[in-house]
Amino acid sequence: MKIADLDLGPRPVMLAPMEDVTDPSFRLICREMGARLVYTEFVSAEALIRNINSTTRKLHIDDRERPVAIQIYGREPDAMVEAARIAEEAGPDLLDINFGCPVKKVASKGAGAGMLRDIPKMLAITKSVVNAVSIPVTVKTRLGWDHENKIITDLGPMLQDCGIKAITVHGRTRSQMYTGQADWELIGRLKADPRMEIPVIGNGDITTPEAVKSAFETYGVDGIMIGRGAIGSPWIFHEVEQFMSSGSYNPIPVEEKFAVLRRQIRESIERIDEYRGILHIRRHLAATPLFKGLPNFRETRINMLRAESEAEILRLFDEIGQKYFNTECHTNDTNQ
């Protein structure tokens, strides 16, 4: 699959942009694990042009994580154009426009998925951003605003006509948020539309290598984006690569999974500070499948998610490793 001149190879699987998740460390780990393309956290156009430090930091790119896309969102064409130019200066391989974020504080103000209620403005912003930068521009969006307005099969060709080089579709409406089941049938219908000449990338409910293979074969998409399925489980990209190439995969050893989580904790602390770094990483610890189904784990889980120091979390890791996996998880680390 190619996005303009960027060749991602056949059937690429990518890391979706996620706020408070796809920081530089996590992106790099996912790239090392096999993600063909990674995306930054959402970057607010308004905050970027006001030079808000917490926003401008999101533009930092490590060359080792390439190819990487910066994703911006906003509701005003002028602000989006200015933000696009600022983002381009950071040197991403692609610039992505977020027309899919469903959270109230974004969508209710007309940005993200809120733009699905104002298609003329969405198209105007897209065309303006495409014309403002020299790097390829892509779009990530949803099926529509609600069940009665699933417009993606009409919207896709219109966005293509604005000059974008790929489109990613999350198989839910804004009203669904992240509930219910993603509708891949409509994504497949968009891909099958003879008008579509750019890559169509599918997103939603992809949590296993088997689901990746099935989505490619059933719906014919050009690429697949994994979001929540990668939180606390960046090794999913390694498993997907194995499965797609050989039809089977060997899960990485428990010790290596612990080592990956240790690395995330360490690098989160190094990037921010110990207290805020621990807070940031809790979402990954809460979501990781490594601890799913462990018997009598509730108290340990609570203690882990309440821990406020690296030493405390690593001590708990060691206890978990000995109790549930018969392994010394504190002695292993990785810089993969």
Q: Which residues are catalytic?
A: 101
How far apart CA 9 and CA 252 sit, in angstroms, is 24
Laid out side by side, the sheet with 94-99 consists of: 13-15, 223-226, 200-203, 167-170, 137-142, 94-99, 68-73, 38-44
Query: CA 38 → CA 26, 67, 181, 232, distances in Å?
Result: 9, 7, 24, 16
* First vs last C-alpha separation in the chain: 26
Sign of CA dihedral 250, 221, 33, 178: negative
How far apart CA 329 and CA 310 sit, in angstroms, is 14
Q: Is the distance from CB of 281 to CB of 309 less than 8 angstroms?
A: no
Q: Is the distance from CB of 143 to CB of 96 less than 8 angstroms?
A: no
How far apart CA 36 and CA 66 sit, in angstroms, is 9
Angle at which helices 254-271 and 310-320 cross, to 10°: 170
Task: Tally Cβ neighbours within 10 Å of residue 218.
Answer: 12
Q: Hey, what are 219's tokens?
A: 């719906």
Count, in order, helices (H) and strands (E) of the chain.
14, 10
DSSP, residue by residue, 142-205: ESBSSGGGB-HHHHHHHHHHTT-S-EEEESS-TTTTT-S---HHHHHHHHH-TT--S-EEEESS
